[in-house]
Amino acid sequence: MIPPARHVSSHLQVQVKSTADLVFSVAVSGDHPGLSESLIFRLDGEEIEAEEQLDSSRSRLHRLRETAPGTLTVDYEADVPQPAPAAQLQGIDEILYTRPSRYCDSDRLANLGATHFAGLTGYELMSAVTQWVRTKVSYQPGSSRVVDGALETYLSRVGVCRDSAHLVIAFLRGLNMPARLVSVYAPGLVPMDFHAVVEAWHDGAWHLLDATGLAPRDSMVRICTGRDAADTAFMTTLAGSTRLRRIRVDARVDGELPYDDKFSFRTLS
């Protein structure tokens, strides 16, 4: 289906305690035709300039190299009237996204994936893994830590969206299917926040999987694509000391939210 027009925004307020080198990943990526957007950084009310950098998956990162102490605000707004073209396989994606990464420790989970999903491949594998994580891992805010990887989630069986996504990815990679994390704006998500979902490469497409089922996939808008949450965090402090004081995310569609049966295969658009 053609996704409806989407309107997304985010607002961050960060206390910079000592001069900081910061990276933000809040802007929509993916070449949406007709995209109109605004991204404004202000330090103590005064507008400052960020440097935009593209990562190897063409996510847009915004960097503030020497942010003086003070109150930093980040205001992003975008109108997304049209879907983005389907993501393609680039460079060494197949290799990169099949390897283990910090929070998707597929090498540790290899035996476990083989136990649970023996003999499955392709669409069946994607369905089975997503379904397994959906039914076995309880969504429970506050139950996980930012240092937790997929093995931890496998053992504890609780987590938030990033944890479920990491476990799906780790299982898929362990069974040789390229898989990656995507941070998205997700109209319909309750409570509204940044969301984390999975893209798995099979049969010529990056299939969009969401074990949480908390928002319709057809209206999600891509922000950042990477190996795991280490690559896609909406804010990274490379140097200095900061404290996130406020975060507000909004995402909605024109008209009704699309229906998601949670079983059919979709791509992010």
* Residue 246 within binding range of a second copy, rule CB under 8 A: no
HSE-CB of 58 using CA atoms within 13 angstroms:
11
CA 169 to chain centre: 12
From 88-96, 192-200, 211-219, 261-269, give the range in contact with a second copy by CB under 8 A: 88-96
From 5-13, 55-63, 71-79, 203-211, give the range in contact with a second copy by CB under 8 A: 55-63
Tokens 């597929």 label which residue?
Answer: 106
* Residue 224 within binding range of a second copy, rule CB under 8 A: no
* Residue 147 within binding range of a second copy, rule CB under 8 A: yes
**C-alpha distances in Å from residue 185, one per residue of 104, 152, 169:** 22, 26, 20
* Residue 119 within binding range of a second copy, rule CB under 8 A: no
Closer residue to a second copy in complex, CB, 107/254? 107
Structure tokens belonging to residue 98: 């099949």
Closer residue to a second copy in complex, CB, 82/156? 156
Burial of 7-25, coded b for 16+ CB within 10 Å and e otherwise, reads: bbbbebbbebeeebebbbb
Q: Residues 48, 124, 176, 248: which binds a second copy (CB under 8 A)? A: 176
* Residue 54 within binding range of a second copy, rule CB under 8 A: yes
Q: Which of residues 11-30 bind a second copy (CB under 8 A)?
A: 21, 23
Which among 170, 219, 234 is positioned nearest to 12, based on CA atoms? 234
Instruction: Please answer whether residues 116 and 41 qualify as being in contact, where contact means their C-beta atoms are separated by less than 8 angstroms.
Output: no
* Residue 130 within binding range of a second copy, rule CB under 8 A: no
36: helix, strand or coil: strand
Structure tokens belonging to residue 219: 């209206």
* Residue 108 within binding range of a second copy, rule CB under 8 A: yes
Q: Residues 34, 45, 91, 204: which binds a second copy (CB under 8 A)? A: 91
Note the residues at the interface with a second copy (CB under 8 A).
21, 23, 53-56, 61, 63, 91-92, 94-96, 98-102, 105, 107-108, 111-112, 142, 145-147, 151, 155-157, 176, 230-231, 236, 238-239
